[in-house]
Amino acid sequence: MSLIQLESDPKKITGEELKPVLKKAGLELTESLIEDFSTLITGFEAAIHSLPDDREVQPRPNLEKYPRKDIHIPEDREFGAWATKVTAKCTAPKSNLLEGRTVALKDNIALAGVRCTNGTAMVEWVPEIDATIATRIMDAGATIIGKSACENACMEGISCTSVTGPVHNPYAQGYSAGGSSSGSGRLVATGSVDLAIGCDQGGSIRIPASSCGIVGLKPTWGLVPYTGILSLDPTIDHAGPMARTVRDCALLLEAIAGPDGWDDRQPPVELQGYQLEFVRDVDAVTRLPRDRMLEGMKVGILLEGFQVPGTDKNIVASVRSAAAQLSELGATVSSISVPAHLEATPAWMILVPAASPGSLLGERNGRKQLHFPDRCELVGQKLTQAQFDALGPGASYMYLAYLWAEEHYGPKLHARCMNLLKAVGDGYDLALKDVDVLITPTLISPPVQLPENGYSGGPLELMSMTTGVLANTSPLNITGHPALSLPVGFSHAREDPNVKLPVGMQIIGRRFRDIDCLKVAAAWEKAFDWKTL
């Protein structure tokens, strides 16, 4: 480390000001060293005060080109699905790709001038910037009509923890719509919007897609920019499309995919020359004769995906039947094993608490991406009691697990997990050399009944209700492979056999071969009616 300049500032940091910092860190220095470091820290302070205003380089929207109006909290929240309503569109779109379509943004996505709750009352934040994907959606001719409710701090798989209230399943009031993109799932399913954006760190696009009977794609890590979206951890952050049909899912993906110059999740070497058009290939598949739509495609039924403890037998039967039907469309279907699939979730459960300071406090050291210093200032350097109390069970557990791990294990625990998780990705890559896509159930059990008392019964009660819900989804966040949930039938609710709830089949592809997931899903969707199965 060298100095750019040495300031002789009249507001010199004194040794007495430095000593409390040293004491808190458990350090003892001689008076001579304290004097030297006081001078050096004075230069550090001077450099801080010389920084220009970073707002000048932020992607602040041109509000004449991208006007927004009628910002309000609606009285009718569509059974909890809406957080905030708005009308935002571009006056001069770059294309008509999404012309006439309405879109909801998950409420952890920045849209300037519109509150961004992240599903929690922990902090009140109104961003001044637009997320890249929000701009791209408007540039494609769509109208953003609101922010969809999301679960508290985006850390729940059951839809009863959002600060804006519980979100009900579109097929059965009183049942979960899934999480954390709960509002997006319901709004698309009910036709309240044409399309929606979800964000996914452990399954938060695919869980509500499966629960609500819609199509949801977690794209390849880095395909869609995460710029302007509240992060859980950059290594597992994904934003993607949610729609009623596979074609609409491909359409929205086409509008939002590609590097934006901000997000270091996006590897430019991987994306150079990568075809960012998806609808054309989806249309080409569905125009073929039924028995040739998937000709030449190899589909692997991932055995471990059906072996998760607690897997519902009706879901197994539904997904196996749907996978077998792919052979009628020209695909070769076989069984395949990836032992690491069952080992991934415990490592994910350790990795995510290690990311809690970043997701809750906004710490993103070492990342080249858009940061939110205004929100960091609102949150502070650690959670206050009031902020902690505003968290849902999942987020508060994650924060305490982080504190425990930090105290007892330090950074080595996170380091071990990151090393082990490389082997998980290698396992999928090896399997995907022999097949084009892998198949699992999206969820191992049907959506649960919403608790009457919300989440006031305590974290253990609520989190026990969704044991295993991430088993087939979270491994793909770790590895970055694309994964799509497609509705393929119904299963009986565990609490009431007279209640029927959607079942999702997960289609996993090679990295940056999202189109394979879309083609397989589009072919099955064209050939079969999931609502009659």
Active site residues: 106, 180, 204
Peptide bond into 8 cis (omega under 30): no
Structural contact between residues 218 and 482, judged by C-beta atoms closer than 8 angstroms: yes
Q: Sheet harboring 215-218: ordered strands across? A: 68-72, 82-88, 143-148, 102-106, 195-199, 239-243, 215-218, 483-492, 500-509, 437-441, 298-302, 332-336
DSSP 3-state assignment of 142? Answer: coil
Supply angle C-alpha 426, 356, 362, rounded to 5: 110
User: HSE-up of 297 (CA within 13 Å, CB side)?
Assistant: 30
CA distances from 215 to 11, 161, 186, 247, 456 (A): 60, 23, 12, 10, 32
Task: Tell me how far apart the alpha carbons of residues 189 and 194 are, in angstroms, rounded to a whole number.
Answer: 9
Please write down the long-range contacts of 383-387, taking CB distance under 8 Å and 24 or more positions apart.
Answer: 383/122, 387/122, 387/123
DSSP 3-state assignment of 348? Answer: helix
Structural contact between residues 487 and 212, judged by C-beta atoms closer than 8 angstroms: no
- Both structure tokens of 261: 């110059």
Structural contact between residues 221 and 125, judged by C-beta atoms closer than 8 angstroms: no
Backbone φ, ψ for residue 82 (5° rounding)? -90, 140
Task: Tell me how far apart the alpha carbons of residues 274 and 284 are, in angstroms, rounded to a whole number.
Answer: 19
